[in-house]
Chain A
Amino acid sequence: MLKLCYKDYLAGRWLWLATSAIYVLYAVQPLGSSVMIMAFGLAFVLANLLIPFIFEDKDKTEVLYAGLPLTRATIVRGRYLLGILILAGCGLLVFGMNAAVGAVVQTPIYQGGLMPLRSPSAVAGFLLAGGLAIATYLPVYHKLGLGRANMVFVAAWLMIFTAAAGLERLASVHLKLIRPILTAEFLKDPGKGVISWLEAMRSAAGTPIFFLAVGALLALIFLASMRISVRAYERREF
């Protein structure tokens, strides 16, 4: 599977470098909203995952690799491994940049926006969100191919954001049902809100158990997603 990641590395390395440079430029901007930083970090993960797929689609190399001595299941597993490596690499850059910028620029905006994003709970949140995004995208990609998968995925995210906006509206009229979860404080900065939830869980369970649970949850999500992807990809015809 590492061989598959290596060919993706050869194909996508310059664009990965370019997206990383863009992220670094973005991360040095004085951002106050932690949710923006988190959303951009997540977009960074997905963009990097898509780069090799875009090259594969443009150059039709899926046909080539499906003809090589590999099973479809191996090809799918290789893509999941690539997703994990990208998640880890992006995580290093995202949190590394947060730490570096936070250390250099000591303004109230940075402290307010970035401090919560440097906690272990923020790392867990990033891994869970990125892992979930990868695990939901890949089955759609293996079933529908790049073009249609991207349309479905974008449509799904638009629906999620629309629903989130709707929830915010509901919360603003103080609906009793959701008030305990979506407090006004949470809605003021949902990024920090999510991290606060995770922080509460980490405090309750202890850091080792919390991270074990995060790892187990991610493993379960990835295994289930990979199973669906393998089934879909084995049916794909080139």
Chain B
Amino acid sequence: MSTVETLTFRSRHDYSSSVVGIDIPVGLKIGDGRSVRLLAKVDTGAANCIFQRDYAEQLGIDVESGERKTFGTAVGSRFDAYGHTVTLSCLDWEFEAVVYFAVPRDYSRNVVGRSGWLDRFRLGLIDHDLTLFLSHYDDLS
């Protein structure tokens, strides 16, 4: 016996085939102060949201004052990052989340991962159509 599951989503986001990965627009803000806008890759394999430290510095965050965490990579190397609470905006939503800023200056990949992003949403992905569907977990289904 087969069953059919139906999901509905609030937002649809069409991403580009010409870049590596699935980019989404992200905003980071501290309180009512400075904000930055960047592109981040959706990465379901990443434990957390990790951004280049340049964005933290632009926001006036002292990177090393946050919660330290060591991340492993696919090739077995490690790097440190520090967690800070920021206001993260993405498509139709804005919420507070702990995100990490990488210590190495040559860290070059901004990712939204499970904790702080994926755990806030219901996500649908049809890569064949280059389409990402998103709803906040608490939105009407």
Q: Do A and B come from one complex?
A: no
Hey, which bits of chain B sit against chain A, CB under 8 A? none
Hey, which bits of chain A sit against chain B, CB under 8 A? none
